[in-house]
A and B are shown apart, each in its own frame.
Chain A
Amino acid sequence: GQSLEQPSEVTAVEGAIVQINCTYQTSGFYGLSWYQQHDGGAPTFLSYNALDGLEETGRFSSFLSRSDSYGYLLLQELQMKDSASYFCAPYSGGYQKVTFGTGTKLQVIP
């Protein structure tokens, strides 16, 4: 079967670093995507890891370990605008094989 686990909520201080973990179980795994969604807004694509290791995009980095079925999103130099929900989304190929979980709500405090 398929399963996806992320912490439901995380709180971090402005300027700090926060890591949002994701463990997944899915058949035919291709890679792991991350999406950001602000309250009242639409999800927006952040990153995709097809291979093991760290991918860096500005203040955000995403990591994947295929052997551990584990990934994380790392946000550095946190800003208030980073307060949002973050979804990891395992991708199993094809057009319909993306699974979104319930996401992690990040609150950045001063």
Chain B
Amino acid sequence: IAGITQAPTSQILAAGRRMTLRCTQDMRHNAMYWYRQDLGLGLRLIHYSNTAGTTGKGEVPDGYSVSRANTDDFPLTLASAVPSQTSVYFCASSDPGTGNEQFFGPGTRLTVL
């Protein structure tokens, strides 16, 4: 693989179900991010990780959790999905010290019914 991959590409989920969005990068970037993008609201940061073993909360973290067991993987989990979590989710990564230039995955389109 090259760059960042996300899975699944799209998903329809019943409210109340648990869901994990996967993100893997092969660029050995220390920093990784999860954003959600909603029409009219732009990109909003959910969680981030500066390096393996550390995570932090972004602008809209409620209802989401992340883990960073290694450099390459940064999964996002919705413990109990709600319709307001219907969105397009993007994973991104950046080099150490260059958070201004982020590389984005193709996105996951999630619909919660």
Contact = CB atoms under 8 A, between A and B. Distances in A.
Contact of B100 (A44, A48, A103): A48
Interface stretch (B18-26, B33-41, B73-81): B33-41
20 contacts: A33-B101, A41-B106, A41-B107, A42-B105, A42-B106, A44-B104, A87-B43, A91-B99, A91-B100, A95-B33, A95-B48, A96-B33, A96-B58, A96-B99, A97-B99, A98-B45, A100-B42, A101-B42, A102-B41, A103-B42
A33 B101 CA distance: 7
B103 A45 contact: yes
A47 B107 CA distance: 22
B41 A33 contact: no
B90 A43 contact: yes
Given A48-B101, A93-B99, A100 B40 contact: no
A45 B102 contact: yes
B71 interface: no
Interface residues on B, range: 20 to 34
Interface of B: 30-31, 33, 35, 40-45, 48, 50, 56, 58, 90, 92, 94, 99-107
Chain A, interface size category, equals 20 to 34
A42 B5 CA distance: 11
Contacts of A89: 100
Given A95-B94, A100-B42, A101-B42, 6 more contacts: A42-B106, A43-B43, A87-B43, A96-B48, A100-B43, A102-B42
A30 interface: yes
Nearest to B93: A95
Nearest to A46: B101
Contacts of B50: 94-96
